[in-house]
Amino acid sequence: MRTYDFSPLWRSTIGFDRLFDLAEAAQRAGEDNYIERLAEDRYQISLAVAGFAPDEISVTAEQNVVTIEGTKAEKAEREFLHRGISTRSFRRQFSLADHVEVRGAAFDNGLLKIDLVRQIPEAMKPRRIAISGAPAGNMQQIEGKAAA
């Protein structure tokens, strides 16, 4: 079983619809890519790009989307009876969460690896708030009259 049904989770979550939509979209994207969590705030997208050279692939990051495009120039001098490796142009898009940025890309043995890092600004990180007030043992009565 390679597909997951997220619909039972929709009943018990509020505001996570986009997250589940992204997970389903990634699931439908195909078997030629995967997303890996390397550390707490580091991720890597790996995309199989067999038959393409690094100069035939472009990676573009804008807003919360990273786009990978491959374009292969057709060479008419060869006649193929069968092509086992697809050489048609492709375009893949991955939606990124807020504060996730693309750090770099590398091409290795037919795999394109894109490194992602999540950096949450200090102002948005959770912080502990001190509670001020007198401790329970040091309570004092302020201008009150004793009951008769």
Instruction: Considering only CA atoms, give the Rg of the chain.
Output: 27
Q: What is the pTM of this model?
A: 0.61
* Domain enclosing residue 45, as ranges: 32-121
Q: Name 44's bridge partners.
A: 36, 115
Q: Verify that 12 and 23 share a domain, yes or no.
A: yes
Report whether 52 contacts 70 (CB < 8 A).
yes
Residue-wise pLDDT for 43-80, tens only, equals 999 998 888 889 999 999 998 889 999 998 776 677 77
Report whether 85 contacts 51 (CB < 8 A).
yes
Please report, for the domain that includes residue 61, its CATH number: 2.60.40.790
Residue-wise pLDDT for 117-140, tens only, equals 988 888 888 888 889 886 656 556
Report whether 100 contacts 61 (CB < 8 A).
no
- Residue pointed to by tokens 């750090």: 103
Residue 18 placed within a domain:
yes
